Each structure stands twice: as C-alpha cells, then as structure tokens.
Structure 1
Amino acid sequence: MTDAPRAGHGRYAYSPLPARPVYDWPGGRRLAVYLALNVECFAFGEGLGAELAPGGPQPDVLNYAWRDWGNRVGVFRLAELFDEVRLPASILVNSHVYRDCPGLMEVFRARGDEVVGHGRTNAERQGTLPEAEERALIAEATATLTAEEGRAPAGWLGPWISQSRVTPDLLAEAGYGYLLDWCHDDQPVWFRTRSGRILSVPYPQELNDIPSIVGRKDSGAQFAEMIVDGFDEMRERAEAAPLVMGIALHPYLVGQPHRLRPLRRALAHIAAHRDAVWLCRAGDVAAHAAALIPTISN
C-alpha cells in the first residue's frame, strides 16, 4: 500500500527546531526582536482594504477614510513612539505611498529605518496575477523604492501576504535577499528557488494587529498584553536556541490614541531589556543569518 500523492511547495525540508545547531545573534544574544511597520495606501472606490465596520457600496468612505487617517496622523505618532522608546523599525511600504503621501517616508529615512518592499498598493494582491504581471509589479515597486531611497530594498512582503507559486523565484531573480511572507518558523530558513535560494525571515501573524484587532476583535490592551507575554516567553525560550520575534503594526490601527497608549507600555517593556536581546531590523536578521547559516540544513 502506498501513500496517496499530495501537493507540496518544495521550498524547504522539514527540520525540528530542537535538532538544529545553536548559534548566537550579535553580542551573544539569543532573541532578535524587530518592529515591522506597514505603511500602505489604498484605492478610493475599488480594491481591497481592511474594514473597521462592514463596508457599504463603493465608494466605501467609512473604511477608506479610516485607513487614510493612518497615513495622515497615526504613522507620525508611531514614529514619535519609536523615538521615545529608542527602537529601530523595518518600514514595509507600498511604492504608491511616495506618490500619494509626499513627505511621509522622510520621517523614517531620517531615523535610519530599513525600507522593505511591500508591493505597489494594498488594494491588490500579487499572488493572483499571471507570472509576467507579477514580475512587472515587483519590478515597478522595486524601481520606485530604489529611486526614492537611493538603494534597492533587500527584503519583500507581499500585499496581504500574497504569493503565487513562483513568487520566491521572482523575488530572487529581482535581486531580493529575503522575504517575510511565511510564518512557519521562529528562525530564518533558506528557500530553494529556480535560480538559487532566498532567505525567509519569520514574520508574525499572531503578534500582528490586523489578525488580532480586525480579525479577532481584540482590544488595544489585549494586543499589548500579547506582545508582552510573547516577548517574555520568547526570551526564556531563546536560552536554548536563537529565535526571532517580529511585531507587525499598521498606523490606522495602533496609531489610534486608545491603542497607542497600551502599545507604548508594551514597547517600553521590551526596550527595558535592550541589554539582553538584540533590538534590530528584519534586514539585520537576514544579513546576520545569511552569513551564519550557509551550511545549516533547515
């Protein structure tokens, strides 16, 4: 009797965490923590977008304006918070933000934050496109970020965590060193591609304000408590193996005053342990891991 055939992705092999080699992050630390701030724009009267309340017929002014508040107000409050607690960030940015929100990205450029490719707009998914169109989307977004920031982004997160079966191949071929779309591990993992390999850096779907606040209807205080509990648990777990903890944020959600205040407490808790953990950016994790684990099978 033989097993029935099943579909697979072929990108990486199974590897249990306890069986892997142990290594350190810089300074002998074992837990890497990064903030992923999603700076996104949306089409008016069409396309995709998170909802505060069930949307009506287009144009859905209620939800469009709620999201737009994030780029006009909330994002600047979060930048101030990051300065206050002295935390770096990875800015996952739609390329249309440079066109639609002039002056916004200068705030994060001045902070020295990392800029990560995040498609053109979050009104669309890339994973539903034919390969040629997806390749063109990646090229267009990359060209804008490179021109605006003076360097090509090293990492990519698809809008809505959207990938086709060839997305890792297209990203590697476009020169990307890492992707953030997969949340299948607590350590970086090499992915096979048709032109070599690309590194997958852990990105959170639990410590992510959209699944938490929009999906499960958690309060800002509940989301902040999740961050604190997750950090404390990961810090203890990291004594046995190096781990990565990401926190995914969206300005129109946690930039709101009633959510910003508990978020401040959570980030201050993390910052208070800066001597024991590596407070970094996603690209820092990728660069360090790529140099450390070229021969580690995971």
Structure 2
Amino acid sequence: MPLQYPGRLPDHGRFDYLPITRRPAWRWPGGVGLAVYLGFNLEHFAFGEGLGAGIGPASPAPDVLNHAWREYGNRVGAWRCLETFDRLGLPAAALVNTALYDHCPELVAACVARGDELVGHGHTNAERQGVLAEGEERALLLACRERMQRESGRAPDGWLSPWISESRVTPDLLAETGYGYTLNWCHDDQPLPMRTRSGLPLWAVPYPQELNDIPMIVARAMDGRDFARMITDQLDEMLEQTAAPGAPALVMGIALHPYLVGQPYRLRHLRQALERVAAARDAGRVWLCTPGAIWHHARAQAAG
C-alpha cells in the first residue's frame, strides 16, 4: 500500500499565513519604517508560594533568596530605570501586575505621571493565567481592567499574560472584556489582526521573546554587556530591513524587567544601548512609541 501521510495539522484559526515579503507598503508616523517600544515589566510575587524567576535554585518556602532578588526591582531597579528613561526622553509601556497597587502604588503612579502607557499584566506573576477555568479567566481580565481604571484613571487597551500563559479562549475573552490588543503572540514583526469567536477585533502587537532580558540573562546566562549588544544589533538590522522603498514597516520591542536590568552593572550597559535608540529617534530614523500607539496606527492603516 502507498504510504499514508497524516492530514493537516491542528491549527489555532486565529490568523492565516502571510509572508513578510507580501505585505502592503505603509509607514509609521514621520514616514519611518521602524517603530520601537520599551515593555517595562512591573511585577509582584507572593512570598513563600507560587512562581517566579530565580537567581539561584529554588529553595523550600519561604524562598528568601529569590523573592528578595525580585523585590529589588520594585524598590531600586525600577526607579533607576525610570531615571534613565527620563534622561533620554523615552516613553515606556508599563506592564503592570495589579498586585502592585497593594504593594507599591508609588511605582505605578510614577509611570502614570510620566505619561507611560499602562498594559494589563495579570494580578501577579506568581500565577499562570492559562490554568484558570473560563469564568475565572474572564473575571481576572475584568478585575484587572477595573482596578487599573479605578487606581490610575485609565483602563488598559492591551494585555500580556503572566508568563505568556494562555488558555484556548484567551484571545476571545480579551476581545469580549474590552481589550484591543494582546502582546502574547510573538509570531511576526508587524501588528496583525486576530480572529475571535465573537467577531470582535483583537490585534497582536509583537512582543519580543528573544530581545527580552529574562530568557537571555536568566535562562541563557547572558552578560548585561551582551544583552545591550543584542539591542543595538537588532536596531541596526531592522533599520536596514526597513530602509528600502516598499519595505514593510516593522516593530522592535525591548522587554525589560527591573530586577534584572536595574542591577547597576547591567543598567550601565542598557543605558548605552538606549542612547543608540534615542539617537536613531533624534535622527528621524525610528518612531519611539508604545504598543498602544502601534495598535492605533496599524488599525488606521488597515481601515484605509
């Protein structure tokens, strides 16, 4: 008998395949081809339970070593990063665990005062979203929107799940609870619409899985100098990719966690990389913005 091949693989049905070489030609504001944003992850972790990145092997609860290391980001590292952003005139998207409103509301307030975009990032990064039942997940999405609106005067347009953990219906629930875009899907260098069961719109704005300090510094033990070099290499390459006439407009996100890049020796290298990004902005070569601004502009382009 002839060899029988299995059929089409299971698919999510959220979007179709479309190569980057076959996209409509459009540009970002100012006629530039590259949009750059900072995803500034502000997170809080339960003491003595739940998930969390570690500087060393996990210890039996209470794991003081790893909990205290992460808490350094909220007490020191985040403030040093904000000083750097201010010095260079960099906007940021603060990806906020709503547990911060109970723990260190001053930090969220500082981002609001800067005019940063607030993005929903769950209640705590000690928990995964994708394990929740549908009703519990919907309640989480609504509770985060309502808390951010009440505390900061703005409901988030975008969402990044803690640990990028999704259920089968997360995109559907995001659209149904009022979110306009998600950072969970990093399958492209352009923002693209996704299908949802209700037909309500939801966009995927690229969020970096590689240009991200957690997988690079924690998982791959990369030095801060090398991570900064990654940022400048990404910038240079994507500027080349978007330079030719008719080249597609692209997005470059930089994912930062202050308990990592807020460590003084890493911050020094990060600052040098961000100086390169700011110089590209000043030269009119990149649009330095937020994922919400990217979403708004891409929607307008799609609408014609």
* TM norm structure 2: 0.95
Partner AA of 1:263 in structure 2: L
Alignment equivalent of 1:237, drawn from 234, 237, 241: 241
Q: What aligned pairs does 1:185-200 form with structure 2 within 5 A after superposition?
A: 185-196=188-199, 197-200=201-204
Partner AA of 1:206 in structure 2: E
1:258 aligns to what? 265
Deviations 1:32-69 (A, max 9, x none): 00000000000000000000011111110000000001
1:222 aligns with 2:226: yes
2:62 aligns to what? 59
d(CA) in 1 for partners of 2:301, 2:105: 39
Q: What aligned pairs does 1:276-291 form with structure 2 within 5 A after superposition?
A: 276-291=285-300
Deviations 1:186-217 (A, max 9, x none): 00011000122200000001100000000100
Partner AA of 2:289 in structure 1: C
* TM norm structure 1: 0.97
CA-based RMSD: 1.0
Q: How many residues align?
A: 295
1:103 aligns to what? 106
Structure 2, unmatched stretches of 5+, are none
Alignment equivalent of 1:122, drawn from 105, 122, 125: 125
d(CA) in 1 for partners of 2:274, 2:239: 14
d(CA) in 1 for partners of 2:151, 2:32: 34
2:177 aligns to what? 174
Partner AA of 1:237 in structure 2: Q
Structure 1, unmatched stretches of 5+, are none
d(CA) in 2 for partners of 1:258, 1:2: 54
d(CA) in 2 for partners of 1:153, 1:248: 18
- SS of residue matched to 2:209: coil
d(CA) in 1 for partners of 2:195, 2:5: 27
Partner AA of 1:106 in structure 2: A
Moved more, 270-279 or 247-256: 270-279
d(CA) in 2 for partners of 1:75, 1:245: 21
1:89 aligns to what? 92
Identity %: 60
1:13 aligns with 2:16: yes
Q: What aligned pairs does 1:200-211 form with structure 2 within 5 A after superposition?
A: 200-211=204-215
d(CA) in 1 for partners of 2:219, 2:102: 30
1:150 aligns to what? 153
d(CA) in 2 for partners of 1:55, 1:193: 39
Deviating beyond 3 angstroms after TM superposition, the runs of 4 or more aligned structure 1 residues are none
